[in-house]
Structure 1
Amino acid sequence: MEPLFEGATAVPTEDHQGDVRVHRLNGSAEICEHIENLAFVTHSEVLGALRLDRLTPPGRELYEYLTFRWLRRGVKIHYLFDASVLNDASALTYVRQISAAGAGVRIAAALKSNLLICDNRSALLCANSEEPEDGAVVTKEPDLVTVVRDLFSQAWEQAGGLGQVAEEPCCLTPADQELLTLILKPGKDRIRARELGVSLRTFHRRVADLYERLGVSSRTEAALVAREYIDA
C-alpha cells in the first residue's frame, strides 16, 4: 500500500503469522456504504485526511453531509486537507464552513491519500492514492488503529492552520496566469474566449473562479493585484 503521507511507512495488512488483520472494500459503493454505517455508530471523534480533488462529486457530497451531521451531534472533528483545496473555490468554501461550524482544520503541503478514524476504534484507509474510491482497507485492530492515528498526528503537527495559509497569496498555474493576462488586455470576452479555445460560457466560469480565488470582484480589482501573480 502506498504511504499515506510523505515519509510515512505503509500500514501492515498481516501479522507475522500471515493472519489477515484488515477488511478490504472494493469500489465506491462499498466504501460509501461503510462510511455511512460508521456515521451512525460514531459518537465522540472523527479524524480525517482528505484529498477532495480526487473524490467524485457523490463522494464529496457524502463527506460534506456527514461532516455537518457529526458537528450537529457534537462529534469532535479534525480534518487534514491537501493544499489543492486552496485553488478550488468550492472546496475552500466547504473547508471554511466546517471550520466556522467548529471543525478543526489544517492544510498539508503533500497529502498522499484519504483516511478516516472514528472514535479511535476503526480506521479506513484508501488503497489507491490516485483513485481513492477504487478500494480501501478497514481495521478495528487496536494496534493498527494506533499506528494510523500516529501517522495522522504527525501530519497534523506538520500542517498549517487554515487562517495561516489562507492569508498567503494563492498559487496560480501557468494557465491561470495566461487567463489573468488575457483579462487585462483590451477587447471583448468573446474574442478572449476564442483565443483560449473555449466557449464563452466556459470562459466566464473560469474568470469567476479566478476572481474568487484572487479575492476580487471586477477586472479593475484584478488589475490591481495582477503584478503579484503574473511572471515578469
Structure 2
Amino acid sequence: MKDDHSLSPHCDCRESPSDRSIPEKPCEAALATYRRALTEGSLPAGAVPSCLRALHLLVPDREAPGRLVPVPPETASFAALAPIEEVIAEQHRTLRSARATLAAFEGLYADVRRQESPALTRLSGTAVISRALDAGVSGCRTEVRTAHPGGGRPAHALEESLPRDLGNLRRGIRQRTLYQHTVRSDRATLDYIDQVTAEGAEIRTLPEVVDRFLVFDQDLAFVPFSDDPYSALRVRHPSLVRFLVRHFDEAWARAVPVRPERAPLRTPVVVSDLQRAILQAVVSGETDAAIGRRIGLSRRSVAEHMRRISEQLGSTSRAQLGYLVATSGLLDD
C-alpha cells in the first residue's frame, strides 16, 4: 500500500526563542502525527515533524529502516530532558564555585576594612566629643576652619575652646572662624575674639551661617548630629570634607572682618547685611521668631528693625511691608 505521508507535515510549534529545537507547546501536526503513530505502530521518517524527533517521542525502528516507532512520553523524557538537566546541574556547580570564591574575597575585604578608620562616626556625649576635638587639634598640621551660627557663644564653650585654640595658633596653625553679625554685640565672644586675634586668628562675620562645623586641614571635620545637641558626626570621607572646605571658603569670601577694638560699633556694611537678611525673610513670609533664630537676633530686635523699615517705607501692616520691600528695589543687587 502506498503511503500518503512521504513528506514531513508542516510544524508550527510555539518556540521561544526561535532557534530552540524543543517547543514550548506542541503543534496540531505533532499531536495528530503522534496519535497516528500510536494507532498504526510506525510511520515513515518523512511523515514525522521535527519536534517529535527532538522530544524523542518517535525513534528509528531497528527492524524497519526508514520508519519511526512511537515511545511512551515517560520513556522519552529520559532522553529529552537528560541533556537539559545536565546543563542545569553544571550551572549549579558553577554557581556554587563562584559563591565560594567570592566568599573568600569577602573575608579579605572585611579584614582590610576593619583596619581602616570609618568615614563617618557618631560621637555621643560632651566628654567624648571634647576628646575627639582635642585629638583633631593635636593632629592638625596647617589650618582650622570653624563656623558658628547664632549669636554669642556660651561662656563655658568659649572657656573650653580658648586654650585649645591658643595652643594651635602658637604652633603656627592658621585659624579662620565665621560668626554671624550679631556676635559683634556679645561681650564674652568679643573678649575671646580679642585674645585669639592677638595670636593671629582671623575672624569674619556674615548675616547668616548655615550650620556649625569644624574642619582640620582638609581631611577631618566635625558636624552636629541631627538635632541632638549632645552628639556630633566625625567625618573622614574626603569628598564630604572637601565639600565643607569649599562651602567655608565661599562664605569666607563674602564675610566682613572683625576688628575687636571696633566690633561693638555697628558698621554700615553689617547693619545693611542684617536688614537685608530680615527683609528677605519678610518677603518669604517668615515670622519674627523664625527670623531671629536664623540670624541670631532676639525677637524684639527683629521687630525693632522691621519697625524702622516700616516707618521709612510708610507701611502700616506686615503684608504691606512685604509687598513694598519686594517692589521697592531694596533687595536688588
Q: TM-score, normalised by structure 1?
A: 0.57
Q: Is the 8 A contact 2:181 2:205 kept in 1?
A: yes
Residue in structure 1 matched with residue 219 of structure 2 by the alignment = 121
Query: CA contact under 8 A between 2:152 and 2:189: conserved in structure 1?
Result: no
**What SS is found at the alignment partner of 2:200?**
coil
Assess if the C-alpha contact under 8 Å between 1:128 and 1:134 holds in 2.
no
* Residue 147 (str. 1) matches residue 232 (str. 2): no
Report the Cα distance in structure 1 between the residues aligned to 2:144 and 2:150, rounded to whole angstroms.
17
Give 1:80's aligned amino acid.
Answer: L
Corresponding position: 1:159 with 2:255? yes
Q: Secondary structure at the match of 2:208?
A: coil
Cα root mean square deviation, aligned: 2.8
Q: Name 1:71's counterpart in structure 2.
A: 169
Deviation at 1:83, TM superposition (A): 2.1
Change (3 A) 1:67 1:52: farther
Please, which of 140, 146, 152 is the counterpart of residue 42 of structure 1?
A: 140
Cα distance, 1:52–1:99 mapped onto 2, change above 3 Å: farther
CA radius of gyration, larger in: 2
Q: 3-state SS of the aligned residue for 2:141?
A: coil
Letter in 1 for 2:235: T
Identity among equivalent pairs (%): 23
Structure 1: segments with no counterpart, 5+ residues: 1-19, 172-230
Amino acid at match of 2:175: I
TM-score (norm 2): 0.41
Q: Which residue is equivalent to 2:126?
A: 28
Q: Secondary structure at the match of 1:134?
A: strand
Aligned to 1:186: none
**Which runs of 5 or more structure 2 residues have no equivalent in the other structure?**
1-117, 272-307, 312-333
- Which residue does 2:16 correspond to in 1? none
Aligned ranges 1:213-232 → 2 under 5 Å: none
Query: Which protein has greater RCO, CA pairs closer than 8 Å, 6+ apart?
Result: 1
Output the CA distance in 2 between the equivalents of 1:100 and 1:52. Answer: 24
Matched ranges for 1:62-211 at <5 A: 62-128=160-226, 133-163=229-259, 166=263, 167-168=265-266
Deviations 1:116-174 (A, max 9, x none): 11121101112357x7x422111111111101111111111121111498343598xxx
Moved beyond 3 Å, runs of 4+: 51-58
Equivalent position of 1:209 in the other structure: none
Q: Retained in 1: the 8 A contact 2:142–2:174?
A: yes
Give the CA deviation at 1:55. 5.3
Q: Which amino acid aligns with 1:141?
A: H
2:25 matched residue in structure 1: none
Count of residues paired in the alignment: 152
